[in-house]
């Protein structure tokens, strides 16, 4: 399977961002991508928190999600909508939610799946980014979003995809669990800050690949956004032995890698860390 990761700077509203998304999806399709992965906050990064509450759409009737499903159906690709800032049915706090949209022509046991590009998996970001990285911004994600609590593994043709988002990257147990439950590819769509990205992005992504023997696909937001934050970009695809097989240039970019399951098998044969040594609970010595 050929996977593409898109890098761009999400605008203040979906209308600003969509022409960029659709152009980059077309470029990925021209490079024969079977699956296209968008970063966190794929459709917009709001000017402020009030705008977030005005712009967040309901998962069950989102115009943005429908527009992306149409892209999946038109291009006959799998689409990982890294995340969008959504509102759950009960209308409470928004969720930072990742959606996996299937291909329209995928035939499932003889039946053509919903040609609109069905949503096959939804993951709600578990770890909320409440941090101070000395970039002049106050990050208090838990004040605005409801956190998820359920890891999600989704099937894409013959691959198992572990769905995560951004700050989750700093919690290795989530990735170890996804890998032990069968993940071949770990998705890390992100809007990493410039400061923490410079210091940690490459190291953490390569560590997750090495620890699990999975591919790691990390589409990143890049640039200066409407609320003044600056995101790090450097979208990456890391192979199971830990080598970076694709890295984005500055600005808008499309990076590509072919998933080779034999590389997953050989990495895990060499270092069987993921299959042995179950997670142990430390005893407290009193």
Q: Which listed residue (67, 76, 170, 202) binds ligand KGT by CB under 6 A?
A: 170
Choice between 196 and 212, CB closer to ligand KGT: 196
Q: Which listed residue (8, 18, 192, 215) binds ligand KGT by CB under 6 A?
A: 192
91-150 residues near ligand KGT, rule: CB under 6 A: 96, 129, 139, 141
Please give, one letter per residue, the 3-state secondary structure of the chain.
CEEEEEEECCCCCHHHHHHHHHHHHHHHHHCCCCEEECCCCCCCCCCCHHHHHHHCEEHHHCHHHHHHHHHHHHHCCEEEEEEEEEECCCCCCEEEEEEEECCCCCEECCEECCCCCCEEEEEECCCCCEECCCCCCCEEHHHHCCCCCCCEEEEECCEEEEECCHHHHHCHHHHHHHHHCCCCEEECCECCEHHHHHHHHHHHHHHHHHHHCCEEEECEEEEECCCCCEEECCCEEECCCCCEEEECCCCCEEEEEECCHHHHHHHHHHCHHHCCCCCCCCCCCC
As a dihedral over the C-alpha atoms of residue 155, residue 89, residue 67, residue 148, rounded to 10 degrees, the angle is -40
Is 166 a known active-site residue?
A: yes
Greatest alpha-carbon pair distance for the chain in Å reads 62
Name the segment binding ligand KGT (CB under 6 A); options: 116-124, 164-172, 251-259, 265-273: 164-172
Q: Min. distance of Cβ 143 from ligand KGT in angstroms?
A: 10
Determine, following the binding rule CB under 6 A, whether residue 64 of this chain makes contact with ligand KGT: no
226/10 Cα distance (integer angstroms): 9
Name the segment binding ligand KGT (CB under 6 A); options: 3-11, 62-70, 188-196, 273-281: 188-196
Residue listed under structure tokens 């969008």: 84
66-95 residues near ligand KGT, rule: CB under 6 A: 85
* Residue sitting closest to ligand KGT (CB): 196
Catalytic choice (9, 37, 57, 166): 166
Is 265 a known active-site residue?
A: no
Choice between 226 and 273, CB closer to ligand KGT: 226
Choice between 12 and 245, CB closer to ligand KGT: 12
Q: Which listed residue (8, 38, 40, 42) binds ligand KGT by CB under 6 A?
A: 40
Name the segment binding ligand KGT (CB under 6 A); options: 57-65, 176-184, 190-198, 272-280: 190-198
Catalytic choice (40, 50, 57, 140): 40
Q: Which listed residue (13, 193, 212, 235) binds ligand KGT by CB under 6 A?
A: 193
Name the segment binding ligand KGT (CB under 6 A); options: 18-26, 115-123, 189-197, 260-268: 189-197
196-215 residues near ligand KGT, rule: CB under 6 A: 196, 200
What are the beta bridge partners of residue 160? 155
Catalytic residues: 40, 125, 166
Interaction site with ligand KGT (CB under 6 A): 40-41, 45, 85, 96, 129, 139, 141, 166-167, 170, 191-193, 196, 200
């Amino acid at each position: 399977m050929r996977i593409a990761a898109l890098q761009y700077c999400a605008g203040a509203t979906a209308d600003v961002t969509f022409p960029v998304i659709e152009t980059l999806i077309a470029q990925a399709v021209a490079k024969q991508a079977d699956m296209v992965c968008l970063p966190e906050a794929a459709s917009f990064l709001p000017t402020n928190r009030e705008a977030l509450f005005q712009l967040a759409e309901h998962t069950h009737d989102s115009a943005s999600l429908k527009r992306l499903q149409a892209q999946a159906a038109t291009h006959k690709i799998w689409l990982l909508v890294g995340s969008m800032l959504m509102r759950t049915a009960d209308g409470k706090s928004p969720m930072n939610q990742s959606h996996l949209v299937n291909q329209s022509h995928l035939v499932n046991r003889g039946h053509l799946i919903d040609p609109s590009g069905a949503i096959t998996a939804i993951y709600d970001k578990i770890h909320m980014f409440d941090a101070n990285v000395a970039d002049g911004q106050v990050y208090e994600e838990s004040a605005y979003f409801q956190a998820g609590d359920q890891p999600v593994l989704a099937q894409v043709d013959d691959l198992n995809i572990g769905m995560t988002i951004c700050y989750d990257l700093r919690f290795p147990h989530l990735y170890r669990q996804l890998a032990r439950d069968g993940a071949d590819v770990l998705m890390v769509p992100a809007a990493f800050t410039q400061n923490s990205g410079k210091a940690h992005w490459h190291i953490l992504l390569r560590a997750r690949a090495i620890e699990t023997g999975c591919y790691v696909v990390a589409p990143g937001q890049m640039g200066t956004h409407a609320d003044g934050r600056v995101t790090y970009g450097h979208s990456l695809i890391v192979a199971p032995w830990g080598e970076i097989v694709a890295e984005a240039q500055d600005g808008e970019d499309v990076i590509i890698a072919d998933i080779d399951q034999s590389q997953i098998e050989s990495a895990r044969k060499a270092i069987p860390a993921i299959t042995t040594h179950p997670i142990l609970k430390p005893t407290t010595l009193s």
